[in-house]
Amino acid sequence: MSPAAPAAVPRHVAIIMDGNGRWARQRGLSRLHGHREGVESVRAIVRACRPAGVKYLTLYAFSTENWARPAAEVKGLMRILVTFLRSQDRELHENRVRLRTIGEPDAFPASVRRELDRVKQETAHYRDGTLILALNYGGRAELVRAARALVAEARQGRLREAEVDEKRLAAGLDAPDIPDPDLLIRTSGEKRLSNFLLWQLSYAEFYFTDVLWPDFREPQFQEALAEYARRHRRFGGLG
């Protein structure tokens, strides 16, 4: 399938990468095997963004709720993240893509934080594309952080009640310089936000697919972009 017309390509795509465990279970494999295969889908979609015209890609990589998973799985996910960062930075450099994060990754092990900091610093000057990893991220927690920042400003006498508006609150989000997603993709047939980008997805188009994340590659990504191109975005108006 050919890519969507340039004028109808979403500038920012956000993805809830769901179905790694089910993919593995269907094949009699461990959940971590499913997560490792899911990394290959991440690589494929990152590569597909630039030729498709997508400038920003946000991936829900680890939620605040994921800490409730078995300790062995969480530890394995941390190892997979480190391996991904060490192997992916070459492609980020080749495609002039910068890495950003949202959430609170400071809770991660030192080995993960070191790799995140290294890749973010080494790619910070690129502007051809942006990969945003949501790590230890929750939409409600992000809004609480933004609200606390407003309270702190008010206590310091730098903010009056009448000055609190959507723009001021949005400025306190984790990545206020990144445009809101135009398209949300969720794989594996689930149809919920799961505490992901609750503020930023207010006017995004949603695309749900039964395809499990490890099977979601460039052809499936192009199908999502084509569906987006067929929709009419009116933002509450008549278009």
Classify residue 205 by its DSSP letter: E
**Buried-exposed string 193-230: b where 16+ CB fall within 10 A, e elsewhere:** eebbbeebbeebbebbbebbbbbbbbebbbbbbeebee
Go through 87-105 and write b for each residue having 16 or more CB atoms within 10 A of its CB, e for each that does not.
Answer: ebbeebeebebbbbbbbbb
Q: Check if 18 is active-site.
A: yes
Q: Is 66 a catalytic residue?
A: yes
Extract the tokens encoding 160: 């009056």
Nearest alpha carbon to residue 60 among 120, 153, 114, 133: 133
Q: Which residues pair with 133 in a beta bridge?
A: 59, 101
Contact 206, 16 (CB under 8 A): no
Under a CB-based contact definition with an 8 Å cutoff, are residues 210 and 36 in contact?
A: no
Q: Catalytic residues, which ones?
A: 18, 66
